[in-house]
Structure 1
Amino acid sequence: MTTADLMDRAHSVVAAGGAIYAARQTGLYRINVPGKERSLYSSWLPDQAMPTLALSIDDASGLMLAGISGGVARSSDGGESWLAIPLRSPAPLVTCLAAAPGFTAGGCVLAGTFEDGVFRSTDGGATWLAVNHGLFDHSIYALTLSPRFAEDRLAYAGTSSGIYASENGGRLWQDLSMPAGDDTVLSLALAECGALYAGCETQGLLRSSDNGNKWETLLETDGAVNAIALADDSRIIAQVNDGVVGSSDGGLNWQETVASDVDCIALADESILLAMSDGSIRQEEW
């Protein structure tokens, strides 16, 4: 769908406000029409690359949070101007972001880091505090918050050794057991019905309907499940190694969607966004 430097691969893609956003090794880009990308960091860092690994966007307000080395970049005007917010010293590498619905109105945002645990903001990303009580593995690969976070305060973190759960918005974490022992959890997703999906390095794609007490294996794989996207409670998309598979019946049957060369995935209405290893972004019907 777009062209980019072949080595400038995307770490994350997001659809918001009628545009597609790609978090790349060189920075953050907005794609308004096929083949046309505009750097959102050009006025902030005109001659400097800023690797960006994670992205969260609030459609209603235009607030954007980008995970960068050392902290979070924050824009309150749709990416026209930016403020870098350091999380601590020495500077951590932000690997993932998870925002509660309506997070700009005093809601919660969590930032996961490569080796410094989880940070929490309750003011739209303006300030951050470390929230690692009970979190014994500080290598965070995935975060997800409940669709009903305002009521249940549920949050989950995927780490290099398993999954942690929080029932109070990340202030206290508890380790969850996994079917075959510890495993690196690379992706997480929560369905509207409350089912928790976990993509693992060696245990495939797991699902729990009781907050992680019991698990079922939805998809056995020869490689890692790097990303999960839920269109609804029955339609599931998973990135396995560098390919993509999909299920339209809640994980009973799977079909290969793309064979290889996919770096990351996301949903956009009734289509799938595919960030390819050549730097391009493809959009395909679901």
Structure 2
Amino acid sequence: MDLKGFRLMLAVFLAVLPTAAFSDQSSVPPQSLSSSQDWWLSSNGMYGGTITALAVSPNFTGDQTLLAGTSSGGVFKSTDGGAQWRAVNTGLGDTQMKALAYSPSYGVDKTVFSAALHGGIKKSTNGGESWEWLGSASNGHAYCLGISPQYASDSTLFGGVSGVGVYRTTNGGTAWDLVNTNLTNL
């Protein structure tokens, strides 16, 4: 390509860039990555920075429910497979989300857990519509969650807290035990 051709290509690129880069992407049709995978932007109704946590309902095929945590806007819920989102932050307090986890029996118990940078671990028993704090041991910089596959019968949840370690509850969050045996450099 000669210099004249390069200049023409650069001019076209610069003319198209603002439209392509800053247009409303919510109406963009799915872009095929292969013959069996379609992806599209799914953030209609969201605000609050970066998506830091994403959880899919164990009953997704029936309820189409997703939760997304953001770096500063709290938790957002979609009940239509991600087409529309709305904030569900009642009782949440800290909106700097790090993790979200559904109860494996969510279809029955509607229980969801959240971990926040400064707000510790919270629990919702109404599908994320409102949240309650789970006691002093879960306070602090909570970064991750793990939930027992048999949560409905054993009520076991784990939470990772920065600088402290791993906490475990076997009663749904009423009491917590530090379970750091052989964990070092926390």
Structure 2 length normalisation: TM-score? 0.72
Does 1:217 pair with 2:183?
Answer: no
Read off the aligned partner of 2:135 and give its amino acid letter.
S
Partner deviation per Cα, 1:189-215 (whole Å, 9 max, x = no partner) = 111222101011022111101111111
Q: Find the partner of 2:133 among 139, 162, 175.
A: 175
Cα separation, partners in 2 of 1:101 and 1:88, compared to 1, 3 Å: closer
Cα separation, partners in 2 of 1:74 and 1:147, compared to 1, 3 Å: farther
Residues 202 and 222 in structure 1, CA contact (< 8 A), matched pair in contact too: no
Partner deviation per Cα, 1:104-125 (whole Å, 9 max, x = no partner) = 4324211000010000011111
Read off the aligned partner of 2:103 and give its amino acid letter.
S
Alpha carbon RMSD of aligned pairs, Å?
A: 2.8
Partner deviation per Cα, 1:161-187 (whole Å, 9 max, x = no partner) = 2011100000010111132x7311111
Could you say what secondary structure the match of 1:143 adopts? strand
Cα separation, partners in 2 of 1:111 and 1:148, compared to 1, 3 Å: same
Residues 74 and 94 in structure 2, CA contact (< 8 A), matched pair in contact too: yes
Residues 201 and 223 in structure 1, CA contact (< 8 A), matched pair in contact too: no
Cα separation, partners in 2 of 1:182 and 1:85, compared to 1, 3 Å: closer
Read off the aligned partner of 1:100 and give its amino acid letter.
S
Read off the aligned partner of 1:203 and give its amino acid letter.
V
Percent identity, please. Answer: 31
Does 1:156 pair with 2:156?
Answer: no
> 1:142 corresponds to which residue?
99
Could you say what secondary structure the match of 2:136 adopts? coil
Cα separation, partners in 2 of 1:208 and 1:133, compared to 1, 3 Å: same
> 1:87 corresponds to which residue?
45
> Could you list the runs of 5+ residues in structure 2 that have no partner in the other structure?
1-19
- What is the Cα deviation at residue 74 of structure 1? 10
Does 1:189 pair with 2:146?
Answer: yes
Cα separation, partners in 2 of 1:141 and 1:166, compared to 1, 3 Å: same
- What is the Cα deviation at residue 222 of structure 1? 4.6
> 2:89 corresponds to which residue?
132
Who wins on radius of gyration, i.e. which is larger? 2
Read off the aligned partner of 1:216 and give its amino acid letter.
D
Read off the aligned partner of 1:215 and give its amino acid letter.
W
Structure 1 length normalisation: TM-score? 0.48
Which 4+ runs in 1 deviate beyond 4 A? Answer: 73-78, 220-224
Read off the aligned partner of 1:198 and give its amino acid letter.
G
Does 1:200 pair with 2:157?
Answer: no
Q: What is the rounded CA distance, in whole Å, between the counterparts of 1:74 and 1:201 in structure 2? A: 41
Partner deviation per Cα, 1:104-153 (whole Å, 9 max, x = no partner) = 43242110000100000111111111000011100000000000000001
Cα separation, partners in 2 of 1:219 and 1:80, compared to 1, 3 Å: same
The size of the alignment, in residue pairs, is: 153
> Could you list the runs of 5+ residues in structure 1 that have no partner in the other structure?
1-47, 49-69, 225-286
